[in-house]
Amino acid sequence: NAGVTQTPKFQVLKTGQSMTLQCAQDMNHNSMYWYRQDPGMGLRLIYYSASEGTTDKGEVPNGYNVSRLNKREFSLRLESAAPSQTSVYFCATKTGTASYGYTFGSGTRLTVV
């Protein structure tokens, strides 16, 4: 039981390059989230998906797109990477009501040069 799996763990991009961060869960959770973590700012929500086929913007969606093609997978795409997108990205899942905790992946450390 892997929980939430993120790939890759590390990535270096040049400005303007594109890439997709992958997230897969085996917990059968409906809701999935993408966060970014920056020093002194905690985690901020980029996009979320309440269920398969639906996605919505969070606090900081600019420069990102997402795709939820099935219940297991939720991908985050950077179409044209910028240095401001250097960050650690976390995928998370949850089920049930707001009272239930979230399960986080181990993160992807992205550097844009």
Partner 1 sequence: AQSVTQPDIHITVSEGASLELRCNYSYGATPYLFWYVQSPGQGLQLLLKYFSGDTLVQGIKGFEAEFKRSQSSFNLRKPSVHWSDAAEYFCAVGMFSGGYNKLIFGAGTRLAVHP
Residues binding partner 1 (CB under 8 A): 31, 33, 40-45, 48, 50, 56, 58, 90, 92, 94, 97-99, 101-102, 104-107
- ∠ CA 2-32-23, nearest 5°, is 50
Least distance between partner 1 and beta carbon 34 (Å): 12
Nearest alpha-carbon partner for 36 in 47, 25, 50: 47
Least distance between partner 1 and beta carbon 80 (Å): 27
Q: Tell me the C-alpha distance between 52 and 86, whole Å.
A: 28
Cβ nearer to partner 1, comparing 84 with 106 = 106
